[in-house]
Structure 1
Amino acid sequence: MDIRKVKNDKKDALSIAQIGKFQNIKLSQSVSMDIFPLKSLVREYYKLTDNCSTYKKKLSTDLRVIFPGYKNVFSNVTSNSSLAILNDYPTPEAVLNAPKDIIIDILIKKSKRGLTWAENVYSNLINYANEAIIIGLPLYGFSVKITSTIKIIKTLEDEIKNLLKQIEYLINSPNFSEQIRKNIELINSIPGIGRLTAITIIAEIGDIDGFVKPKHLVAFFGIDSSVNESGKFKGNQNKISKRGTRIGRRALYAAALACIRTNRNGVPINKVLLDYYQVNLNGKKPKVALVAIMHKIINYIFAVLRNQTPFELRDPRIHKQMYLENNSIDYVA
């Protein structure tokens, strides 16, 4: 009956009365045909990325059995150079029997790095292959399993790239809504929110006119605090409701993590949110502070979409002064 997660006597009695009177427990939300194709493509993208991640974890698990120590050679076992080696030489025996110049050539071409790096990687690969012969399990059938998993990963990655191209083609097509395209650019103007994240958020939100105030958007993303009360009992260890759009909450979480990071030069991506995060860390858990950042980002999103103006990063003290001045002018008028 309601997107918010509220459990108390008053709310329960109202829900039971409504169901008893109207006999209707279904709730549907009208979807604009302008946003529906984009929403479908975006959700398919996340579905494919989840499937690809599953097979990458499966590959790492299999390598721990047949090739212990392989993850120490490559920081990412699913990188291009690593997959190229495993595709041709999936077992420690195959690596030891392979010509040195061929493996080094694969490493240089796939990684686009120098000969010195390739020589060091090859040396580590041989050392761990010799160890794997001793401590690894001689499961020769795993070689077929590894090559099969690699083929699936490559296929999924190709489909993901193609899907991203289709999303951009749809947005740039002349038949696409100009207002939705503008809303994507407005959200993309917020520091820490990339283009794909902006597209995801707009695809999930749809029409911003369906939300009267930021708190409604907070509930839609499922990051509002749940309520658990019954009689005199009041729960004080309530988590976020996690209702509404799961994909949108996932994109918002990624944006929050990006906003509290710094670039390679040590400059914050979003200094205001980083300072706010560090203040909230005092006496609170990191995840609680991160949820506070997600709330701030939702306020930013609501403001830029409501005002239809790009985001401007301001110091909170300056913003407060501007707010007081505007209110005083309105009051005098």
Structure 2
Amino acid sequence: MITNRPVIGIDVAKDFCYYAAVSPTCTTFLKPFKALNTKQGLLFVLGQIRKVEEAFSSKPVIALESTGHYSQRIVHFFLKQGFEVYHINPLISHSIKNSVVRKVKTDQVDALELARLLFIHTFHPTTMPKEQLANLKVLTRTRGQIVQQRVEFLNKLQSTIEQIAPLFPDVLNPGSLTALTLLSKFPLPCEWTKNANQKAILDMLETLPRKGKLYAQQKYTALLSCADDAQVTGISLGAYACTIRCYVTIIQSLDLQISVIDEQIKVLSEQLPEVAILRSIPGIGDTLAPIILGEIGDIDRFMNAKQLVAFSGIDPSVKQSGNFVGTKNKLTKRGSPFLRHALYIAATTSIRKELKGSQVNSVIYEYYQRKIETKTKKQALGAVMNKLLRIIFSVLKSKQSFRLITPEQQVEMYQKSLQKVA
């Protein structure tokens, strides 16, 4: 809570912002004014802020609402200028709209109310992220978006193929290198049966999967059977050839971009020891570790594991009124969706059994089995995500790799540590 410093409230828009200055006594000092988000506009704003600083002999703090990528540039600018910046969650800032009886909602009013909000609530200032962690976050989020696009186009490709050859997905995975290469050259079933194309198709089926001639011959026979079935069950339209080639080209292009980003992530990961620490946790591999670290950022931002759990949005909501206490409470989901998704994948991996029957993470697996005795599978998986995040907090804080120990061993180690202190 700010009590002895002036505050600059900013209502952010795409091309401009409204700024308002409030004195240390929470009275309006500068009426809201508009400035463009350009070099000239931001330099003008700095001049106005200097007037506030000179008037109160104190450097103002900055308050603005988190509005996605529009506010990120503004936050970055003021952090570079050495200001203390408070990036306020919209869930909190929206609550001020009902603070008065009259229904008044303008950008000027919002700028003033954001400044006054710092005199009511206690917030943690935003810090400039380390460059390597910021780069990692941008790369992993970009990769996730491209992977999502690939999934969407792959679904479109599969639905199109099923119109002309319903059995094709049973023969080859449409998203595999072999299927994409085949469909880029011979998109229609009638082309798979031509003698002129037989050698080329057999070469693809042999060289791309690298499983030998017998495998290639079996797949080719299945492909011919699929083409024969398509004559009756499929739709014979030449336009599908163009559609399939378009989708295949897009997917191949996305695959290329994913590989480029993966290389950049790999280079960054080698410079960050925290990535190796996260990879030591069973269930978190080369793909998930950079995503988790990029979303968490500097672990020193969090005083305890509870704060990190809240940041990720996997803390349970609370419903209580009078004598009523809710027992069917969902996760808040008010944190990073990217971190939650990565934790979900890590949790589902950790509770699996490998091909040989052993558990990926025996401690997490046993923890999950205990939870499903009293909870639904969905609730138990949420508990696993929570536990994994607490493990992540512990290893990042201690800067030590994960050790697979049972809860009993952990209690024993803790008691020994207490005896040493005594």
- Aligned mate of 1:163, from 261, 271, 278: 261
Deviation at 1:21, TM superposition (A): 9.0
Contact preservation (8 Å) 1:304, 1:310: yes
Alignment of 1:92 onto 2:186: no
Question: The residue matched to 1:111 in structure 2 has which SS?
Answer: coil
User: Is the CA contact (8 Å cut-off) linking 1:66 and 1:132 kept in structure 2?
Assistant: yes
Matched, 1:190 2:285: no
**Aligned with residue 176 of structure 2, among 63, 71, 79:** 79
Which residue pairs with 2:346 in the alignment?
Answer: 255
Question: Is the CA contact 1:261–1:269 (under 8 Å) kept in the aligned structure 2?
Answer: yes
Deviation per CA, 1:133-184: give whole Å up to 9, x if none: 1111122211101011000100100110011111222344xxx5xxxx1222
Listed one character per residue, the Cα deviations across residues 224-249 of structure 1 (whole Å, up to 9, x for unaligned) are 11234566665443221222111111
Q: CA–CA distance in 2 between the matches of 1:28 and 1:155?
A: 41
1:22 equivalenced with 2:88 (yes/no): no
Q: Which residue type is aligned with residue 151 of structure 2?
A: S
Q: Could you say what secondary structure the match of 2:148 adopts?
A: helix
Q: Structure 1 or 2: larger strand share?
A: 2
1:7-34: per-residue Cα shift (whole Å, max 9, x none)? xxxxx89x959x6992579998434142
| Cα distance in 2 between the residues matched to 1:251 and 1:21 | 35
1:107 has 2:205 as partner: yes
Question: For structure 1, which segment, 40-49 or 257-266, has the greater mean C-alpha deviation from structure 2 after superposition?
Answer: 257-266
Q: With CA pairs under 8 Å and 6+ residues apart, which has the higher RCO, 1 or 2?
A: 1
Which shows bigger deviation, 317-326 or 193-202? 317-326
CA distance in 1, matches of 2:127, 2:192: 57
Structure 1 or 2, whichever has the larger Rg, is 2
Matched residue type, 1:96:
T
Quote the residue 2:158 is aligned against.
Answer: 60
The one of 232, 252, 268 equivalent to 2:359 is: 268
Q: Which amino acid aligns with 1:149?
A: Y
Output the TM-score relative to the length of structure 2.
0.69
Q: State the alpha-carbon separation in 1 of the partners of residues 368 and 130 from structure 2.
A: 38
- Does 2:406 align with 1:315? yes
Give the Cα separation in 2 of the matches to 1:54 and 1:80.
Answer: 17
Residue number in structure 2 paired with 1:282:
373
CA contact (8 A) 2:171 2:222 kept: yes
Alignment match of 1:47 (pick from 140, 145, 148): 145
Match of 1:9 in 2: none
Checking the alignment, whether the CA contact within 8 Å between 1:3 and 1:244 is kept in structure 2 is no
Q: Report if aligned partners of 2:269, 2:290 keep a CA contact under 8 Å in 1.
A: no
- Secondary structure of residue in 1 paired with 2:237: coil
Task: Report the Cα distance in structure 2 between the residues aligned to 1:23 and 1:249, rounded to whole angstroms.
Answer: 29
Contact 2:317 2:330 in 1 (8 A): yes
Give the Cα–Cα distance (whole angstroms) in 2 for the partners of residues 260 and 4 of structure 1: 36
CA distance in 1, matches of 2:345, 2:114: 42
Amino acid at match of 1:79: S
Partners of 1:29 and 1:65 lie apart in 2 by 53
Does structure 1 conserve the Cα–Cα contact (< 8 Å) formed by 2:314 and 2:331?
yes
After superposition, give the CA deviation of every residue in 1:55-77 in whole Å (9 maximum; x if it has no partner). Answer: 11111111111211111112x22
The 5 A counterparts of 1:294-313 are 294-313=385-404
Aligned-pair identity in percent equals: 31
Which residue number corresponds to residue 230 of structure 2?
132
> What is the Cα-based RMSD across aligned positions, in Å?
2.8
TM-score (norm. length: structure 1): 0.86
Matches within 5 A, 1:7-18: none
Contact 1:4 1:243 in 2 (8 A): no
Question: Aligned partners of 2:115, 2:129: CA distance in 1, in Å?
Answer: 31
CA contact (8 A) 2:171 2:223 kept: yes
Higher helix share: 1
Matched to 2:301, the amino acid is G
Tell me, which stretches of 5 or more residues in structure 2 are unaligned? Answer: 1-64, 66-87, 101-112
Q: What's the CA shift for 1:5? A: 8.8
2:249 corresponds in structure 1 to 151
Change (3 A) 1:231 1:215: same
How many residues of Structure 1 are paired with residues of Structure 2 in the alignment?
316
